[in-house]
Amino acid sequence: MIPVLTVRETLLCSAQMRLPVSWSNKDKVDHVDAAIAALGLESVRHSRIGNILERGISGGQRKRVNIGIELAAATLSVFLGEPTSGLDAVFPII
C-alpha cells in the first residue's frame, strides 16, 4: 500500500485499475464506499495508510484495507488465510 494515500484513495485506485471499463465512475465509487462500510472503516476512510516514519491507521485497520483492496476488484471469490488473526473483537464478519 502507498503510505501517503488515504484508505478511500487506496481502494478507489484498486477499483479503477481492476474493474471493467463498462462500470461507470459512480458505480465504482459506490462499490468502494460499500466495501469501506462492510469492513467497518468509515471512521478512517480519509486517514492516510502511513508507514514506519509517518503514523497512519492501526495494524488491524491496515489488514482490513488489504481485504478491501481485493473486495474493490469485485472478484467472485476471495480466499483468505486467517484474515482475522490479530484483529480486535469489533471486526465485522462479512
Give residue-wise pLDDT tens across range 78-91. 777 766 666 555 55
Could you tell me the pLDDT band of residue 94, with boundaries at 50, 70 and 90? low
pLDDT tens-digit map of 35-49: 999 999 999 999 999
Task: Report the C-alpha gap between 9 and 48 in whole angstroms.
Answer: 9
Residue 65: strand, helix, or coil: helix
For the whole prediction, is pTM greater than 0.85?
no
Q: Kindly give the interhelix angle for 59-71 and 25-38, rounded to the nearest 10 degrees.
A: 140
What's the rounded mean pLDDT across residues 55-84?
84
What's the rounded mean pLDDT across residues 28-41?
94
Task: Report the C-alpha gap between 73 and 12 in whole angstroms.
Answer: 10
Domain residue spans of the chain: 1-94
According to CATH, what is the number of the domain 1-94?
3.40.50.300
